[in-house]
Structure 1
Amino acid sequence: MAPLQTPRRRFALPAVGSQLFLVLLTLGFLAPVAWAVLSAFKPAIDIIRYPLVFDPTMFTLDNYVEMFSDVPIGLGFLNTGIVLVIKGAITLFCAPLAAYAFAKYDFPGKTLIFGAVLVTLMLPTIVLIIPLLLEMKELGWVNTYQALILPGSVDAFAIFWMRQVIAAVPDELLDAARVDGCGEFGIFWRIVVPVIRPGLAGLAVLTVMNIYNDFVWPVVVASSERMATLQVMLSTLAQTITGNKIGADYATVTGELLAAASVALVPLLIVFIVFQRHFINGILAGSVKG
């Protein structure tokens, strides 16, 4: 008999190619961010003269010191924080409630109403700006927190996301709670919410990112400096710096812009790092077919 030959291991070339592609893609995404953060610690003139060179011996905090003295970025963080906390809380409370009704209850017009909710996902934001702005003007809410918080606080995507998650909750759990005498809101709060916690965590991360990065609506409805959110303040940073500093050149403005952008990046980076595992679990929970 011929001796048995052990099968040769083939080099997993496709897997290595995929990993190499992902590494290059990651570096492509991170390179501009790394350049902006490192350049913020360079002397302003060197950012223009030597944009691709970073000398650790020339490390300086001048751009940050000048930026904090020229721009009320703390006010932008405060306004964004207030909007983020209140609007995020409304979204995370009301969207699952609406989704629970669509996922677990039968009522007249349910399909039609849910279809109307989904249709709003197809409407560009720019289409809704003028009607919403006129509504805010009639209510006297222009340049107020109400205008920044209430419009869009319960959006169609959040309802759709949570409906997909809640639809996977077994009906037997709800029926058992009803038999035990639990009320309808008690069922939602004590039974459904603990089960859908991964989906809620994923929605929370997306909600924080969307509210924190929102620019179009705040720049329209909050034109005054005292109500400007962080993104609006960043968009007008160059004009603010040149207005506060006579003779400010292009290098100075660029250095302070990079410093402000680096500071604005920190909160989102912390949120994503801390809640990365919950976000991935939430994405998987939201992918369940309902």
Structure 2
Amino acid sequence: MRHKSYSQTRPSPWQYVVLAGLAVLFVYPIWWAISSSLKPANDIVRSPLSFSPGSLTLDNYRAMLDDVPLGTGFLNTLLVVAVKGTLTMCLCPLAGYAFAKYRFPGRNLLFGILMLTLMLPTLVLIIPLLLQMSQLGWVNTYQALILPGSIDAFSIFWMRQTIAAVPDELLDAGRVDGAGELRIFARIVVPVIRPGIAALGVLTVMNIYNDFVWPVVAVNDESHQTLQVVLSTLAQNVTGNRIGADFSTVWGELLAAGSLALLPVLLLFVLLQRHFINGILAGSVKG
């Protein structure tokens, strides 16, 4: 009996060259921003592409921390990411499970309306949301930063598509064994869709962390400002707090603040990139 041998096609040297070139293309801006933030402010403008280890300094970071409440921005962002992300990761999978595995009157209509909300630009929703927050007395509060958008259409759609691939026989087996619906979801569905949940978690954290439009509208109190709002006011604070602050000073502190803000997202993606990629590919290849 003849057996066919299957072997993976090995990448050619040219493919490695192309991948290496792309890696350099994407990594270089990050390296330039971090290395430039460690240079004297005047050197950033005078010789932006040069780098000398002997001239490394933390002056830009010290000056930036004196000019803007970056620590407050980090703490506020951490709080919003933790609470809002938890709400998204708990409620959106449950909603997706209901749309994927339950048959109830109006299901398709509700899901269609949910999909229509994805077509609405964020700017269209800002004024109605701001009026609602004002009526509730939530302007300049953490509730305004956390609750709007904590249950979003994309996350429900993502979970619905992921859970739809779970065989109904597994759920029926759990019901035969006497398990309740929540237990079936927690013990059977969640382990199967773990890659999709991990990918949704990464996307959720990055979206909340990078959100700027809604936080800058919902709060104007400095004690509630998130990191992105603090960064947007950095140039104004530098020129306002320091007499004679020039262009190079602003650039040095902007690069220092941007480098610090970049590190959490970069670290998150490096640690969870395998789960993120698996979640993106989940369901695209049938076994």
| TM-score interval (norm. to shorter) | over 0.9
Alpha-carbon RMSD across the aligned residues, in angstroms, is 1.8
Match of 1:285 in 2: 282
Judged with a 3 Å threshold, the aligned counterparts in structure 2 of structure 1 residues 286 and 142 are, in CA distance, closer, same or farther, namely: farther
With the length of structure 1 as denominator, give the TM-score of the two structures.
0.91
Match of 2:4 in 1: none
Q: Is the 8 Å Cα contact of residues 164 and 287 (structure 1) preserved in structure 2?
A: no
Judged with a 3 Å threshold, the aligned counterparts in structure 2 of structure 1 residues 206 and 288 are, in CA distance, closer, same or farther, namely: farther
Partners of 1:143 and 1:288 lie apart in 2 by 46
The one-letter code of the counterpart of 1:161 is W
With the length of structure 2 as denominator, give the TM-score of the two structures.
0.92
Partners of 2:120 and 2:12 lie apart in 1 by 40
Partners of 1:286 and 1:270 lie apart in 2 by 27
User: Does residue 155 in structure 1 map to residue 152 in structure 2?
Assistant: yes
User: Does residue 134 in structure 1 map to residue 131 in structure 2?
Assistant: yes
Within the candidate set 223, 233, 252, 2:249 is matched to 252
How far 1:34 sits from its partner (Å)? 1.5
Partners of 2:203 and 2:27 lie apart in 1 by 20
Of 150-159 and 30-39, the range deviating more from structure 2: 30-39
Partners of 1:17 and 1:214 lie apart in 2 by 39
1:233-270 CA-to-partner distances (Å, cap 9, x unmatched) read 11110111222222222111111110000000110111
User: Does residue 228 in structure 1 map to residue 225 in structure 2?
Assistant: yes
Q: Is the 8 Å Cα contact of residues 161 and 286 (structure 1) preserved in structure 2?
A: no
Q: Is the 8 Å Cα contact of residues 213 and 231 (structure 1) preserved in structure 2?
A: yes
Match of 2:53 in 1: 56
Within the candidate set 157, 161, 164, 2:161 is matched to 164
Partner of 2:49, secondary structure, is coil
Match of 1:269 in 2: 266
Match of 1:3 in 2: none
Where does the alignment leave 5 or more consecutive residues of structure 1 unmatched?
Answer: 1-11
Higher Rg: 1
The alignment of Structure 1 onto Structure 2 pairs a total of residues equal to 278
User: Does residue 98 in structure 1 map to residue 108 in structure 2?
Assistant: no
1:117-152 CA-to-partner distances (Å, cap 9, x unmatched) read 111111111111111111111111111111111111
Judged with a 3 Å threshold, the aligned counterparts in structure 2 of structure 1 residues 286 and 63 are, in CA distance, closer, same or farther, namely: farther
Match of 1:5 in 2: none
Q: Is the 8 Å Cα contact of residues 222 and 228 (structure 1) preserved in structure 2?
A: yes
Partners of 2:81 and 2:38 lie apart in 1 by 29
Partners of 2:19 and 2:187 lie apart in 1 by 42
Partners of 1:98 and 1:255 lie apart in 2 by 46
Of 245-254 and 32-41, the range deviating more from structure 2: 245-254
1:90-118 CA-to-partner distances (Å, cap 9, x unmatched) read 00000000000000000011111111111
Match of 2:141 in 1: 144
Q: Is the 8 Å Cα contact of residues 173 and 191 (structure 1) preserved in structure 2?
A: yes
Q: Is the 8 Å Cα contact of residues 148 and 221 (structure 1) preserved in structure 2?
A: yes
Partners of 1:271 and 1:212 lie apart in 2 by 11
Where does the alignment leave 5 or more consecutive residues of structure 2 unmatched?
Answer: 1-8
Partners of 1:20 and 1:95 lie apart in 2 by 42
